[in-house]
Amino acid sequence: MDKLKAFGLWCYKNLLLRYWHLRYHTTLMSLARLTLLVLLKEVVAPTLYWICVLVNALWRNNIFHNILEYIRVACVPSTTELLIAVLSVIVLLIVAFYQYHTEKRHTDLFRDVYIPYVDAILKYLNIGFYYEWSYDVAVNGNTMIAERQLDDLYDMSIYLRSRVRHKGFERLDELFESLSEVACDIYKIFNNYGDFSRKDGKITIERFYKGKGVPYNPNYYSDLQKYNDIVRLISDLVFEQTRILNQILKIIRNVQPDYQVQLGVLHTDNVMEHSTYTISEEDSVVYHGLLKFMTERKNRSYHLADGIVDL
């Protein structure tokens, strides 16, 4: 009984209200016409009929007799009209039942599959301290990240790669894949160029331009340029990661407005536009790998550098 009530309520909201001027307009107009015809036959026609009978009896006028015959004929729905109306009702109910189950499945997948995906992402990213650690990596000049957080980025990348995709969630799946690749690229750069000698569990990018055990590095300026290119690339990757996260949260909140409402919009620095996609980018931007990102980042709302970095 509860399922029947839920289906009836869904039909009322989605067919009679939501789609009146869309896909069900023609069918509902047929039903409205049938209702009007029945009303004319059962209520209006008998009333007019007896009025005409009374007037005809009083004045014996053929005009009223003709009106009476017209009412009797015109107000009765034809067999074809009744058949079309009945078939329309059957088709409407079949389509409504199918769409009800399709939307219910979509809602169930969103609640039972994709919300837990995002919960796991936020846990990997230590979201309560996201501003602090992403700022340390991308903004404060030291390009520093905790070794545990770097490992969590890699684990998140592996987690997202193994997620099952579902029809109807293509944009979220694209963003999950992009987030996985960005996190993996950040991990790889730190792993290749990181200085792991610190005792506080933090990793920085090795300042290789200073030379290793030599008083003078003949390639000092070229190495310094490469170092700056690497740390700026890391910064741009972190900003891209934040944009992807904000876009994921925006999609989730379009369906569930109170999801992680206390987080608001995530920031890597103090300018919101740096950490969000523009309106034109929201529905289309995809991270196509590190090499392509190096040339595409100049098109973002904010970037520290552009061009290919020789890694």
pLDDT, tens digit, 9 for 90 and up, residues 117-133: 999 999 999 999 999 99
* Domain annotation covers residue 305: no
Residue 70 near residue 108 (C-beta atoms within 8 A): no
> Looking at the structure, do residues 93 and 173 belong to the same domain, yes or no?
no
* Domain annotation covers residue 263: yes
Residue 271 belongs to domain spanning: 125-299
User: Among 263, 306, 258, 280, which residue's Cα sits nearest to residue 129?
Assistant: 263
> Looking at the structure, do residues 164 and 282 belong to the same domain, yes or no?
yes
Residue 72 near residue 98 (C-beta atoms within 8 A): no
* Domain annotation covers residue 199: yes
Q: Please report which confidence band the pLDDT of residue 73 belongs to, taking 50, 70 and 90 as the band edges.
A: low
* Domain annotation covers residue 69: yes
Query: Which of 71, 102, 133 represents a domain boundary (last residue)?
Result: 102
Q: Give the tokens for residue 9.
A: 């309520």
Mean pLDDT of the chain: 80
Q: Please report which confidence band the pLDDT of residue 136 belongs to, taking 50, 70 and 90 as the band edges.
A: very high
> Looking at the structure, do residues 150 and 26 belong to the same domain, yes or no?
no
* Domain annotation covers residue 58: yes
Residue type, 115: I
Residue 22 has pLDDT above 50, yes or no: no
Global confidence as pTM: 0.71
Count of domains forming the chain: 2
User: Among 258, 241, 261, 96, which residue's Cα sits nearest to residue 182?
Assistant: 241
> Looking at the structure, do residues 38 and 168 belong to the same domain, yes or no?
no
> Looking at the structure, do residues 166 and 282 belong to the same domain, yes or no?
yes
Q: Which residue did the predictor score with more confidence, 20 or 273?
A: 273
* Domain annotation covers residue 279: yes
Query: Which of 52, 70, 102 represents a domain boundary (last residue)?
Result: 102
Query: Which of 51, 70, 102 represents a domain boundary (last residue)?
Result: 102
Output b/e per residue, 111-140; b: 16+ Cβ within 10 A.
eeebeebbeebbebbeeeebbebbbbbbbe
> Looking at the structure, do residues 69 and 132 belong to the same domain, yes or no?
no
Strand partners, 202: 146
> Looking at the structure, do residues 173 and 278 belong to the same domain, yes or no?
yes
Residue 78 has pLDDT above 70, yes or no: no
Q: Please report which confidence band the pLDDT of residue 21 belongs to, taking 50, 70 and 90 as the band edges.
A: very low
Strand partners, 272: none
The arithmetic mean of pLDDT across residues 208-237, rounded, is: 90
> Looking at the structure, do residues 130 and 273 belong to the same domain, yes or no?
yes
The arithmetic mean of pLDDT across residues 158-177, rounded, is: 93
CA–CA dist 105, 117 (Å, integer): 17
Residue 30 has pLDDT above 60, yes or no: no
> Looking at the structure, do residues 51 and 133 belong to the same domain, yes or no?
no
* Domain annotation covers residue 113: no
Query: For residue 20, how many other CB atoms are within 10 A of its CB?
Result: 12
CA–CA dist 104, 101 (Å, integer): 5
> Looking at the structure, do residues 86 and 132 belong to the same domain, yes or no?
no
CA–CA dist 174, 177 (Å, integer): 5
> Looking at the structure, do residues 152 and 240 belong to the same domain, yes or no?
yes
Of the listed ranges 196-200, 223-227, 273-277, 303-307, the least confidently predicted one is 196-200
* Domain annotation covers residue 213: yes
Residue 161 has pLDDT above 90, yes or no: yes
> Looking at the structure, do residues 135 and 257 belong to the same domain, yes or no?
yes
